């Protein structure tokens, strides 16, 4: 189950007790506060708190730049200018705090983004639930032959069934031993901080994750990308929906300039300029490596 009965009771109580405030609020994010957004088989993302909105970004920018932004006629135009020119500080004025339930191996990827405040569920003090991420058959794939970090063709039939059975049985056996080691049964059980080391990386953990909007968008640019691992990408995609309702102007600019845009090297830009002048440019005359040239061709379609 995504949440425990105790967590659901807390959510219901918080949502049933709205309070007036003088601070800036985002109507889009208010609708998401405390609500569970399921991810994977047992995971979720939910908003605990937030600070700021699109107007807060503009307020900070206008304080910093003063007359330099007077030519920008509206908030959306200013935000697009800031995003287009890679300004970062105004976006740091907004913050988001999430409660996330996720498999341990996803958490170890996620924690590489070191620009957030994190407090994780402690298996030294508490006993982890018997919940494991078991991928669907569609997500079982062989190792890619061209990408050491990626997946290749999907497994199917007997091979997929064999792998799923291994994942399920190994997880169950490890948890059985975990329970056996920490249980008393008339004797002193093993310390929880030691017993946890035998648990598999697909067991679920939870944490509170607080991050400013600038660093959150950097996280989403990498993890919501089609090349990101599926299991972390689905979390990023769920967060994208929240951010789109929270700061719609900033998110639209992010989609246009970060997710949908491309950055060209000086050599690539020179090739494009030469092509626009009618010159036939090849990889041999481009001054680019074969891989750079191939990537430029993909960008240009």
Alpha carbons 132 and 105: distance in angstroms, whole number: 11
223 is catalytic: yes
Please, how many CA atoms are within 13 Å of residue 255, restricted to the half-sphere of its CB? 11
Residue 123 among known ligand-binding residues: yes
Residue 82 among known ligand-binding residues: no
Alpha carbons 134 and 269: distance in angstroms, whole number: 45
Residue 112 among known ligand-binding residues: yes
Residue 64 among known ligand-binding residues: no
Residue 212 among known ligand-binding residues: yes
Q: Which residues contact 96 (CB under 8 A, 6 or more apart)?
A: 47, 49, 50, 51, 210, 211, 212, 213, 216, 242, 243, 246
Name residue 43's beta-bridge partners: 39
Residue 124 among known ligand-binding residues: yes
Residue 48 among known ligand-binding residues: no
Residue 85 among known ligand-binding residues: no
**Which tokens in the block code for residue 203?**
């067991």
Residue 177 among known ligand-binding residues: no
Residue 218 among known ligand-binding residues: yes
Instruction: Classify residue 299 by burial, with Cβ atoms within 10 Å: 0-12, 13-18, 19+.
Output: exposed
Please, how many CA atoms are within 13 Å of residue 128, restricted to the half-sphere of its CB? 34
CB 98 within 8 A of CB 213: no
CA distance readout (Å), 113 to 148, 162, 198: 21, 35, 26
Reduced to 3 states (helix: H, G, I; strand: E, B; else coil), residue 258 is helix
Residue 81 among known ligand-binding residues: no
Residue 273 among known ligand-binding residues: no
Residue 113 among known ligand-binding residues: yes
- Which entry of 223, 233, 273, 294 is annotated as an active-site residue? 223
CA distance readout (Å), 247 to 28, 191, 254: 8, 46, 10
Annotated binding-site ranges for FAD: 89, 112-114, 120, 212-214, 218
Annotated binding-site ranges: 89, 109-114, 120-124, 196, 212-214, 218, 223
Which residues belong to the active site? Answer: 223
Annotated binding-site ranges for dUMP: 109-112, 120-124, 196, 223
């Amino acid at each position: 189950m995504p949440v425990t009965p105790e967590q659901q009771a807390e959510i219901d109580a918080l949502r049933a007790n709205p309070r007036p405030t003088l601070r800036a609020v985002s109507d889009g994010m208010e609708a998401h506060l405390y609500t569970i957004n399921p991810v994977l088989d047992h995971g979720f993302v939910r908003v605990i708190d937030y600070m700021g909105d699109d107007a807060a970004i503009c307020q900070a920018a206008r304080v910093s730049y003063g007359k330099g932004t007077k030519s920008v006629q509206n908030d959306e135009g200013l935000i697009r200018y800031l995003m287009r020119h890679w300004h970062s500080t105004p976006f740091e004025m907004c913050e988001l705090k999430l409660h996330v339930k996720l498999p341990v191996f996803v958490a170890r990827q996620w924690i590489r983004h070191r620009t957030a405040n994190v407090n994780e569920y402690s298996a030294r003090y508490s006993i982890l639930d018997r919940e494991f991420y078991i991928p669907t058959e569609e997500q079982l794939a062989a190792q890619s032959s061209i990408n050491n970090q990626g997946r290749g063709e999907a497994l199917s039939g007997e091979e997929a069934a064999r792998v799923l059975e291994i994942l399920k049985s190994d997880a169950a056996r490890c948890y059985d031993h975990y329970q056996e080691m920490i249980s008393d049964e008339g004797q002193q059980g093993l310390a929880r901080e030691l017993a946890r080391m035998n648990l598999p990386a697909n067991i679920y953990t939870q944490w509170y994750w607080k991050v400013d909007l600038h660093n959150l968008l950097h996280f989403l640019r990498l993890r919501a990308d089609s090349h990101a691992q599926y299991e972390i990408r689905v979390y990023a995609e769920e967060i994208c929906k929240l951010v789109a309702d929270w700061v719609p102007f900033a998110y639209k600019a992010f989609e246009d300039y970060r997710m949908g845009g491309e950055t060209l090297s000086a050599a690539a830009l020179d090739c494009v300029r030469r092509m626009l002048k009618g010159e036939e440019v090849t990889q041999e005359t481009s001054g680019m490596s074969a891989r750079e040239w191939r990537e430029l061709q993909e960008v240009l379609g």
